[in-house]
Amino acid sequence: MKVELQNLTKIFPSRNKKSNEEVVAVSDFNLTIPDGKLVGLLGPSGCGKSTTLYMISGLQKPTAGKIFFGDEDVTELSPENRGIGLVFQNYALYPHMTVKQNILFPLQNLKGADKMTKEQMHERAYKAARLVQIDELMDRKPSELSGGQQQRVAIARALVKMPRVLLLDEPLSNLDARLRLQTREEIRRIQKETGITTIFVTHDQEEAMSISDVIVVMKLGVVQQVGKPQEIYDNPINLFVAKFLGTPPINVFDGKVKDGALYIGEEKVLDVGKVNDGRVFVGVRPEGFVPAEDGALTCKLSNVEVMGRDVSIVSSNKAMLSQTIRSIVDADYKISVGAEYVKFNLKPHKVFLFDEYTEERIYFGSQSAPTPIDEEM
């Protein structure tokens, strides 16, 4: 099912009667999700991810804008009539019911033409349970399950009605690291197997990167960038997006452009061609540093961590805006651990410039702005 959001906006009235400070939770959100894709809604806490999801589900009414499932305008439709499956962070299972009863529950309330026989319901419940691999646990109570198993039950319950759209709000946040990894792979597998259009909310960039066909990065209710995970990483549209994606995070320096050359501190580090003179923020991805004896950028060496194939170099530079520079280089480069300084050349396609005031990207050399994704995704 194709999902289309048009100018979707949610403004919460002020909680305090005296002040008029309303909260713009979501502002003019436009997105088309083609049938069968998984979209990751990514952003820091409070940026409007859940509110967006709740509007799509029908649990919250938009202040403005429209929502379409296929060609159908569902903006005014109640949640029950939208054909959605919802999974929350806290699994929200009924504690007094068995796993099977929990999964059956959404089917028992179906009315009219949708009403099912006992056998049909049973068959559906087992099918959903098999999909998430909990069909052995059908007679247990939620308290007798691990967190990961409980979340699978919640997913089965969301799938049992064969929803047109699956909505997941930080579904992995309550799981420990290992289970989180495993469950996110499961969700991806289930999504591919069923082909259900899915919106997956998370504040965890790595999670979003690994699971999504397309990521939507949000900040303060406003969509910043929409694109394939790798494209957003390789070509961020502003400093916020550049900083939000990537582990270790991007290194940001105070820089200066003069006569087509980029300077960090007093050192000329790159030719940038036709960029206006002035101060800029310089973002360098950890893999953008190439150690070289006559390297352009001199950094004070703090630590060298060998991690198998790669070497992580921790260093510092006065123009760096946070404490340390983290660079990842090939293990072939022999870095002398005892050295006081390390010099780097920078890979131009791993270096991003940003306007010092607007923090918008400044493209240089062969770089160019990302193309809108809507048509090709």
Which tokens go with 286?
């950890």
- How far apart CA 271 and CA 231 sit, in angstroms, is 24
68: left (phi over 0), alpha (psi -120 to 50) or beta: beta
Q: Is the Cα dihedral 100, 105, 107, 112 positive or negative?
A: positive
Which one, 46 or 147, has the nearer CB to ligand ADP? 46
**51 binds ligand ADP per the rule CB under 6 A:** yes
**167 binds ligand ADP per the rule CB under 6 A:** no
Using the rule CB under 6 A, give the single segment among 49-57, 67-75, 86-94, 300-308 that binds ligand ADP. Answer: 49-57
Which one, 15 or 111, has the nearer CB to ligand ADP? 15
> Using the rule CB under 6 A, which residue among 40, 48, 236, 286 binds ligand ADP?
48
With contacts defined by CB under 6 A, how many residues of the chain interact with ligand ADP? Answer: 11
Least CB distance from residue 121 to Mg ion, whole Å? 32
- How far apart CA 186 and CA 192 sit, in angstroms, is 10
- Residues 266/254, Cβ–Cβ less than 8 Å: no
**50 binds ligand ADP per the rule CB under 6 A:** yes
For the chain, how many residues are written?
377
Q: Does residue 270 sit in helix, strand or coil?
A: strand
Closest by CA to 38, choosing from 236, 195, 160, is: 195
Which one, 31 or 284, has the nearer CB to Mg ion? 31
What radius of gyration, in Å, describes the C-alpha atoms of the chain?
25
> Using the rule CB under 6 A, which residue among 12, 96, 115, 360 binds ligand ADP?
12
> Using the rule CB under 6 A, which residue among 1, 3, 37, 49 binds ligand ADP?
49
**215 binds ligand ADP per the rule CB under 6 A:** no
- How far apart CA 372 and CA 369 sit, in angstroms, is 9
Least CB distance from residue 165 to ligand ADP, whole Å? 18
Q: Which residues bind Mg ion (CB under 5 A)?
A: 50
Residues contributing to the site for ligand ADP (CB under 6 A): 12, 23, 25, 43, 45-51
